[in-house]
Structure 1
Amino acid sequence: MGAVDARLAELGLTVPDVAAPLASYVPAVRSGSLVYTSGQLPLVAGSLAATGKVGVGAGLVDPAEAAGLARTAALNGLAAVRALVGDLDEVVRVVKVVGFVASDPAFTGQPAVINGASELLGAVFGDAGVHARSAVGVAVLPLDSPVEVELVVEVR
């Protein structure tokens, strides 16, 4: 077991198998020392963990729940990285995270939602998990997912 897998185990987490693409793309590509993941949804065992828009009120996905979904999406991003490079110990640093939040028109808390992904990466990689980031509110995401997360990581 590598150091990153050991840290994940300490956190009570495991990286799932890489999710099968939903369309015509691959989960991740490498260009030089950078790995770019495709947008990752909060899939658990092949199904979305939740659907709908994020916001406050009846019928909306609670922002705290959405942050947990962003964490799940980031784990799926790590699965895509691992499937491409073979071992998460090859990650030198997380360079950038782009998070999309399917938002109710009145919702403006996208950064707090994507903190779920950012905080996970910091917990797993320490200082190497600190990254640049965008958190974007959108009208709708694939399969009515509440969140989608992309990663850019530097590898050995």
Structure 2
Amino acid sequence: MSEAPQTWSARLAELGIELPAVAAPVAAYVPAVRTGDHVYTSGQLPFVDGKLSLTGKLGAGVSEADAKVAARVCALNALAAVDALVGIDNVVRVVKVVGYVASAEGFTGQPGVINGASEFFGEVFGDAGIHARAAVGVAELPLGAAVEVDMIVEVR
């Protein structure tokens, strides 16, 4: 096993991950807010280069594998919002993740989809990425997105 990186930004570089530009809000909110030792992100959609990478509903044409990848993209976008506000190297730990999955009637695989986000945070932060979580099925998401993720992190 290799030595742990000195910083989270070094860990991202080690993994070959670049944080994207923060996605522009699609309504009246900001991407992230700090209060005390915590940063709360707004819900992040799976935007890649300004375009949604996955739309539709699970259980009605969208595969769980594709949605899991999209949840990872949402997590990356949430991390970019944290970085833009306080700097990723100030993250102490991921506290909570909430994932929303656009679900057709009868679809119950939301936890597996949101594992895309949870596993990403574990990959980046190791033990500091272990978090509380909710995975929620919803009828619709903004802009027809298939998944949305928000997070709370503790910061120094």
Please give the range of the TM-score, normalised by the shorter of the 2 chains.
Answer: over 0.9
Contact 1:77 1:149 in 2 (8 A): yes
2-structure distance, mates of 1:47, 1:2:
34
Match of 1:155 in 2: 155
> In structure 1, what is the Cα distance between the partners aligned to 2:41 and 2:6?
21
More displaced stretch, 7-16 vs 24-33: 7-16
Return the letter of the residue paired with 1:129: G
- The answer on 1:99 being equivalent to 2:87 is no
| RMSD, matched Cα | 1.3
1:18 aligns with 2:22: yes
Choose 25-34 or 1-10, whichever is displaced more.
Answer: 1-10
Q: Distance in 2 between matches of 1:143 and 1:127?
A: 34
Amino acid at match of 1:4: W
Equivalent of 2:38 in 34, 38, 53: 34
| Letter paired with 2:58 | V
Return the letter of the residue paired with 2:155. V
CA distance in 2, matches of 1:49, 1:134: 22
Aligned to 1:68: 69
**Pairwise CA distance, 1:14:** 1.3
Gaps of 5+ in 2: none
Please give the alpha-carbon distance, in whole angstroms, between the structure 2 residues aligned to 1:6 and 1:14: 11
CA distance in 1, matches of 2:39, 2:116: 21
CA distance in 2, matches of 1:103, 1:12: 32
1:52-131 mapped onto 2 (5 Å cutoff): 52-55=56-59, 60-85=61-86, 87-131=87-131
Give the TM-score normalised by the residue count of structure 1.
0.94
| Counterpart Cα distance in 2 of 1:9 and 1:106 | 40
